[in-house]
Amino acid sequence: MKYFHLIWAALFRRKTRTMFTLISIIAAFLLFGLLNAVRVAFTSGSDTLAGNERLVVASRFSIMTGLPQSLQARIAAIPGVEAVGHQNWFGGVYQDPKNFVFSFAVDQGYLDLTSDIVLTPEQRQAFAATRDGALIGEALAAKYHWKVGDKIPLQSQIFPQKNGDKTWPFEIVGIFKTTKDAPDGRDQMFFLNWKYFDEANMYSQHSVGWYVVKVSDPGNADKVAQAIDALSANSDHETKTQTANAFNASFAKQIGNIGLIVEAIMAAVFFTLILLTGNTMAQAVRERIPELAVLKTLGFSNRGVLALVLAEATVLLLLGGVIGMAIASVLAPALSKGSGGMIRLPPIGAGNWVEGLVLMILIGIIVGVLPALRGMRLKIVDALAGR
């Protein structure tokens, strides 16, 4: 640490050059910050404990095909199943098709087994007691300034009521918070009573979209899943049971191989960055050869010089990288907000920072190593003579 000022002084010996390089590094890590969060959200982001304990039972034919409600009791009877709930996609919009509301018809059992939304017993009771009651996430409530007690008309894009009217009135009976580790977007949800939905809609009777099952032992999940699928084997409503994690992952994959696209972009970015900073470091060392020789004359060991140059490169990368990622963490929410929900960038979490820091140090070493070796190997006499 005592050589820090030496490294710092060397770094800013040529202010313009260092600033330019720094801006390039900032740009690279700004992109890394924005994109890596997306990549993580699409690839490994759904690997949560809650997601391993929960199974999603959907129709084998397609997610759009419903399942009979009678299956619920039979699933609940399987050993190892702790609770069963179900959901239907409602496809609601508020006033204009652009104002999309993530709305689901759910039963009481579903609310029992979700762990990532926080409901008071009063809210639960009000939801159970109010036929057209709705529970909404706080982000959704804030978006449209909805309060408890408000009467809200939602249009379903899929289900008209029995009288042909597509507008469904709801009364908001509770606004819920989500837990810290809840998946992104849970605070945008709108839950309505499945019973109301089932009785009043024109098309689907006693039909549920998919079941959510909580298993008592995640290690046992495969077995339970097989037992559930066996219930309906060879019937006209065969099921496919997956853990919630696997279900979410396969869903994300349908949008496209986002992970691969992002990785390709980042590879291009970092390849360029390594070349660019490597070139800067090589220039910086070339210019300072006599100075390095003086350091050696003063008694710095070969390794000491090597370490100094490597540290210089790493400090440069860390400085730019941290600034870049800091900008990204400010920019990501702003971009999501500014695009009006069209682009949703996940927040940059601790995991991303760790990955980013590792990358900065790694690239610092890669770009520093050749110039550093040159510094280490130089002969004092030759260097001082300018040979």
Partner 1 sequence: MKKFLFGLGMTAVVIAWLVVWTALPWFAVLVLAVALVLWLLLTRGGRRTLSVTRVGLSTLTQRLGSTAVIVVGIAGVVAVLVALLAMGEGLSTTLRQTGSDDTAIVLRGGSGAESNSVLTRDEIDAIEGAPGIVRDAQGKPVASAELVVVANVPKKSDPKNDTNVSIRGVGDEAWSVRPNVKIVAGRKFQTGLRELDVGANAQRQFAGLDLGNQLKLGGQDWTVVGVFASGDSYESELWGDAKSVASAYRRGNSAESVIARLSSPSVFDQFKAALTSDPRLKVDVSTTHEYFSKQSEGLSKVIRIVGITIGLIMAIGAIFGALNTMYAAVSTRTREIATLRAIGFRGLPVVVSVLIETMLLALLGGIVGAAIVWLLFNGYTASTLGSNFSQVVFQFQVTPALLWTGIKWALAIGFIGGLFPAMRAARLPVTTALREQ
Binding stretches for partner 1 (CB under 8 A): 16-17, 20-21, 23-25, 27-28, 30-31, 35, 60-65, 91, 97, 155, 157-158, 164, 166, 203, 234-236, 238, 240, 249-250, 253-257, 264-265, 268-269, 271-273, 275-276, 278-280, 282-283, 335, 339, 342-343
Cα three-residue angle 291-292-295, rounded to 5 degrees: 90
Nearer to partner 1 among residue 256 and residue 349 (C-beta): 256
Q: Could you tell me the end-to-end alpha-carbon distance of the chain, in angstroms, rounded to an integer? A: 32
What amino acid occupies position 15?
K
Nearer to partner 1 among residue 138 and residue 238 (C-beta): 238
Query: CB count, 10 Å around CB of 107?
Result: 22
In angstroms, give the least distance from the CB of 61 to partner 1.
5
Query: 102 with 185: CB under 8 angstroms?
Result: yes
**In sequence order, what DSSP letters do the residues of 258-291 get, joined into one string?**
HHHHHHHHHHHHHHHHHHHHHHHHHHHHHHTHHH
Nearer to partner 1 among residue 118 and residue 264 (C-beta): 264
Query: 126 with 191: CB under 8 angstroms?
Result: no
In angstroms, give the least distance from the CB of 272 to partner 1.
4
CA–CA dist 252, 38 (Å, integer): 11
Query: CB count, 10 Å around CB of 95?
Result: 12
In angstroms, give the least distance from the CB of 157 to partner 1.
5
Nearer to partner 1 among residue 83 and residue 331 (C-beta): 331
In angstroms, give the least distance from the CB of 276 to partner 1.
4
Q: Strand pairing of 151-156 and 239-243?
A: unpaired
In angstroms, give the least distance from the CB of 145 to partner 1.
25
In angstroms, give the least distance from the CB of 169 to partner 1.
17
Nearer to partner 1 among residue 17 and residue 143 (C-beta): 17
Nearer to partner 1 among residue 133 and residue 320 (C-beta): 320
